[in-house]
Amino acid sequence: MKIYNGGKIVAGIVIFIIVVTFPFWYGKGKPSPPPQLSLDTPAIAQLQDKRCVEDVNFMRANHMKLLDAWRDESVREGKRLYTAKDGRTFEKSLSGACLKCHSNKEQFCDRCHNYLAAKPSCFSCHNIPGEVKK
């Protein structure tokens, strides 16, 4: 069977395949494993019990919601203490609690955020001492 307007049809199909397979050729097939987060900070090294506010899986998926709730509760309602599921209490503070342990923003926060193109607005107000804003 004859294919009519073969040139245009083939050109269209080639463009279609190139566009659809964009993720396959864009990275040239280089594997890129998820970033390894550094927990190597002086504050964490001194901890006896290396536990975050909640368990790791919860923090990984929900930290942004937790921080959002913390902000609203502490700023708008004045409730500045957070009781974790296991009963420990923390100050609801990004700079005073989170960043005290995770003082290495570039090796901790930024690695995942860059890997996933997440652009949290936290640090447009909260300054990291010594960080040079790009």
User: In this structure, what token pair is assigned to residue 38?
Assistant: 């550094």
> Using the rule CB under 8 A, which residue among 39, 52, 112, 128 binds another protein?
112
Report 39-58 residues binding another protein (CB under 8 A): 57
Contact status: 7 vs another protein (CB under 8 A)? no
Taking a C-beta distance cutoff of 8 angstroms, is the pair 44, 50 a contact? yes
Contact status: 19 vs another protein (CB under 8 A)? no
Interaction pattern, residues 65-104, with another protein; x per rule: CB under 8 A? x-xx------------------------------------
R_g of the chain computed on alpha carbons: 23
Taking a C-beta distance cutoff of 8 angstroms, is the pair 82, 21 a contact? no
Q: Tell me the three state secondary structure of residue 62.
A: helix
Contact status: 64 vs another protein (CB under 8 A)? yes
Q: Which residues partner with 91 through β-bridges?
A: 81
Nearest residue to 71 via CA among 90, 88, 49, 94: 94
- Region of residue 55 (left: phi > 0; alpha: psi -120 to 50; beta: else): beta
Contact status: 62 vs another protein (CB under 8 A)? yes
| Binding-site size, another protein (CB under 8 A) | 41
The residues that touch another protein, with contacts defined as CB under 8 A, are 1-6, 9, 12-13, 16-17, 20-24, 26-27, 29-35, 57, 60-62, 64-65, 67-68, 112, 114-119, 121
